[in-house]
Amino acid sequence: MFASPALVYFEAMIRTLEWTDDGIVMIDQRLLPSEEAYLTFKTAEEVADAIRNMVVRGAPAIGVAAAMGIALGVQQIPSKDDVEQRFADICAEIQNTRPTARNLFWAVERMKKAFEKNRGKSLEEMKSALKNEAQQIYCEDIEINRRLGEQGQTLLGPQQTVLTHCNAGALATAGYGTALGVIRAAVAKGKKIHVFADETRPFLQGSRLTAWEMVQENIPCTLITDNMAGHFMKSGAIQAVIVGADRIARNGDTANKIGTYSVAVLAREHGIPFYVAAPLSTIDLETPSGEFIPIEERSRAEVTEILGKPVAPASVEVANPAFDVTPARLITAIITEAGIARPDYRETLPRLF
């Protein structure tokens, strides 16, 4: 039913999440790279917890999980009389998990539109329509990433070292990835790409997830700690930076994993192009600039502990913003499935839609 070019790739790819008859199966990203374990979520509430607790993370993957979680919740509604209230509760529960990634809210809106469209139908028809919509979002995400990768790889030369921050790979999407999708597409074209992966404290998405993806696919990768990026830029080792995004404001200001802003400042200082790769569903034309993007604050334990072991005095004050905002003026180009936008983003971003 969902036959599409995405499924050709599907057989070979890292499986981030999947709709099955037993529930929504997700790779537990908290355990990688030491364990490749899969968990099955059987209710919308369980899916909401999986998003909140980072079993699944990365803006597009959160969006797909949200759509699947809503569809799953709808499958369990016992009678047509409950459908309106229950649907509203499920959407609210899913939406209240993480505040920054635009894709979460985009996916909830899309499921709400599908609900509106099928309002007059039987409960069984509604269930099937919402399940189909979630599956459609899943398949589209893979195809979008492949198109985005195709666009983005044109920015890379035949032999380049590219620095990335956090994980904007297959694990952060339904498959293929955004920033790592660009790298995958360049490698598929025969370009010799070497990836420098920032480890990305405090949650270590770079060392645990990006490095794991690159090793899985034999793409040359050097893992560095976050504070090494400037050193390698200064020594001429890095020719481009590509990162993903959680939310891009109308003026191009971009929220992404904490530390992205520092990388962008360093790239500007060293004359290195700084690219953001993201689907249109990450662009929020209703948010005028970065100062209006809500930034999630996560638990102190993520900073004071590493793998459950204390690395700081128990009583120390801690700040843990999960994202920062890179001002548009530091971004060389924004790569999307619909094309590559360059400044002035207030003009070029709306044109992509």
In whole angstroms, the minimum distance from the beta carbon of 83 to ligand MRU comes to 31
**Pair of tokens at residue 138:** 């899943």
202 binds ligand MRU (CB under 6 A): no
166 binds ligand MRU (CB under 6 A): yes
Backbone angles phi, psi at 172, to 5 degrees: -95, 5
172 binds ligand MRU (CB under 6 A): yes
In whole angstroms, the minimum distance from the beta carbon of 315 to ligand MRU comes to 26
**Pair of tokens at residue 123:** 């409960």
From 46, 50, 45, 72, select the one nearest 61 (Cα to Cα): 50
From 128, 72, 62, select the one nearest 95 (Cα to Cα): 62
**Strands 38-41 vs 192-198: parallel, antiparallel or unpaired:** unpaired
Q: Position of tokens 């509430």?
A: 45
Which region among 135-143, 155-163, 165-173, 223-231 touches ligand MRU (by CB under 6 A)?
165-173
Closer Cβ to ligand MRU, 57 or 184, answer by number: 57
In whole angstroms, the minimum distance from the beta carbon of 96 to ligand MRU comes to 16
Closer Cβ to ligand MRU, 240 or 245, answer by number: 245
304 binds ligand MRU (CB under 6 A): no
From 301, 307, 230, select the one nearest 270 (Cα to Cα): 230
Backbone angles phi, psi at 299, to 5 degrees: -70, 150
> How many of the other CB atoms lie within 10 Å of CB of 347?
10
Closer Cβ to ligand MRU, 133 or 246, answer by number: 246
195 binds ligand MRU (CB under 6 A): no
Catalytic residue status for 246: yes
Residue 339 gets the label, from left (phi > 0), alpha (psi -120 to 50) or beta, of: left
**Pair of tokens at residue 243:** 């990162």
Give the helix/strand (H/E) hosting 163: strand 159-164
Tell which positions 239-258 bind ligand MRU, by CB under 6 A. 244-246, 256-257
184 binds ligand MRU (CB under 6 A): no
Which region among 127-135, 166-174, 223-231, 265-273 touches ligand MRU (by CB under 6 A)?
166-174
Backbone angles phi, psi at 297, to 5 degrees: -105, 125
Tell which positions 20-79 bind ligand MRU, by CB under 6 A. 57-60
# of chain residues touching ligand MRU (CB under 6 A): 17
Closer Cβ to ligand MRU, 205 or 207, answer by number: 205
Cα gap 25→59, rounded to integer Å: 18
Single-letter amino acid code for the residue at 79: S
Q: Which of 198, 246, 253, 284 is catalytic?
A: 246
Closer Cβ to ligand MRU, 130 or 209, answer by number: 209
Tell which positions 85-114 bind ligand MRU, by CB under 6 A. 101
Residues with catalytic function: 246
- What does the binding site for ligand MRU look like in residue numbers (CB under 6 A)? 57-60, 101, 166, 168, 172-173, 178, 205, 244-246, 256-257, 322
